Structure 1
Amino acid sequence: MTSIDQLDFELLAKLTVNARAGIAELATDLGVSRNTIHMRLRRLQETGVLMGFRPVINFSAVGMPVQALVSLELDQRRLANVVEGLRGLPEVLEVKIQAGREDLLVHVAISSLEALQVLTAAIVDIEGVRKTTSTFSVATPIPFRVQPLLDHITTGTGWGRSTPAPTDL
């Protein structure tokens, strides 16, 4: 397990707002050297804390206004086959293995409810899928976020070994 401190939190917070921010800009904003930012970013990436920089897509703007969570019950011996089948469906955004009644939770973006019906039929055709149950997203009052969790786990950790926390943040 990798521990992160308040400086890591502030760095990640800045990147959450603007993943395209440069090292010099981040260093200036956080009141530390560019080398410190560079080393922190490298450590966060090498330890797997920071897994990449991705754009946030407005699916409605690209013609995919319907998002759904499709729960799958599987023949557990066919898990790998089902995952590979789902990987081949472009509307599948994410697949999570679950504990509980359903085995997989599949997040999809589609153009219409009719398209969801076609997609779920394609999912059921994957060998090993026994049943699907769909739940639709009608709004997202709290979009995906990490800042409150990072703030919680870094409270009281300080700003690293040699740099005191700035007083004006």
Structure 2
Amino acid sequence: MANDRIPIDRFDEAILRILSTDGRISATELARRIGLSKSPTQARLKRLEETGIITGYRALLDPIRMGQAHVAFVEVKLSDTREAALQAFNRAVLAVPEVEQCHMIASRFDYLLKVRTGDIQEYRRVLAERISALPHVASTSTYVAMEAIKEFT
């Protein structure tokens, strides 16, 4: 993956920084803020999209206002770490809507999940019925988040 790196300059960096905080900014305002005219700004934006540096645009939702304030991080240890088992786990975890993030980890456990639910009772149900039932799960350890200090990139 390191070979897939796309070179970006200071104008591209400025575009990305601005879009990461305001994805609805107009091309005219974006151009003004980075110090280029509209046409080169639009060309840079199109290149950043086409090369996959910008993968999409979306609304940021407030999970607390949506009743999803409970966050837990779950270490998952698998009983089998051969490629077929890893792929089976990867496919299955994608279908668990409460799993907000899933990362394969080089550690004493195999995966770290970020799980968001409404409360601890709902989390307990998700852990028992969905996460523990994923393919090859041998054990889990849960860490409940008390407060989010920084969540967005």
Both structures adopt the same fold (TM-score exceeding 0.5): yes
Letter of the aligned partner of 1:56 in structure 2?
A: L
For 1:127, the equivalent position in structure 2 comes to 135
1:143 to 111, 126, 151: 151
Please say if 1:40 is aligned against 2:40.
Answer: no
Higher relative contact order (CA closer than 8 Å, sequence separation 6+) = 1
Rounded to whole Å, the distance in 2 between the matches of 1:76 and 1:39 is 45
Q: What residue ranges of structure 2 are gaps of 5+ in the alignment?
A: none
Q: Aligned-pair distance for 1:62?
A: 0.4
The equivalent of 1:163 in structure 2 is none
Superposed counterparts of 1:13-162, under 5 Å: 13-74=17-78, 75-77=80-82, 78-121=85-128, 122-145=130-153
Displacement of 1:89 in angstroms is 1.3
Counterpart residue identity of residue 112, structure 1:
D
The amino acid that maps onto 2:9 is D
Alpha-carbon distance, 1:33 to partner: 1.6
CA distance in 2, matches of 1:117, 1:143: 23
Counting aligned pairs with the same residue, the percent is 28
Describe the SS at the equivalent of 1:25. helix
Number of matched pairs: 145
Q: Displacement, 1:39?
A: 1.4
Kindly provide the amino acid, as one letter, of the partner of residue 81 in structure 2.
Q
Post-superposition Cα deviations, 1:55-80, rounded to whole Å, max 9, x if no partner, equal: 22211110111011111111213112
Gaps of 5+ in 1: 146-169
The alpha-carbon deviation at position 91 of structure 1 amounts to 0.7
**What do you get for the CA RMSD once the two structures are aligned?**
1.4
Q: Distance in 2 between matches of 1:85 and 1:55?
A: 26
Which secondary structure state, in structure 2, belongs to the residue aligned with residue 131 of structure 1?
strand
Residues in 2 aligned to 1:72 and 1:25: alpha-carbon distance in whole angstroms: 45
TM-score w.r.t. the length of structure 1 is 0.79
The residue type paired with residue 129 of structure 1 is V
**Shift of residue 82, structure 1, vs aligned partner:** 1.4
Q: Distance in 1 between matches of 2:138 and 2:50?
A: 39
Question: Deviation per CA, 1:92-119, whole angstroms, max 9, x where unpaired?
Answer: 1121111111111111110111111111
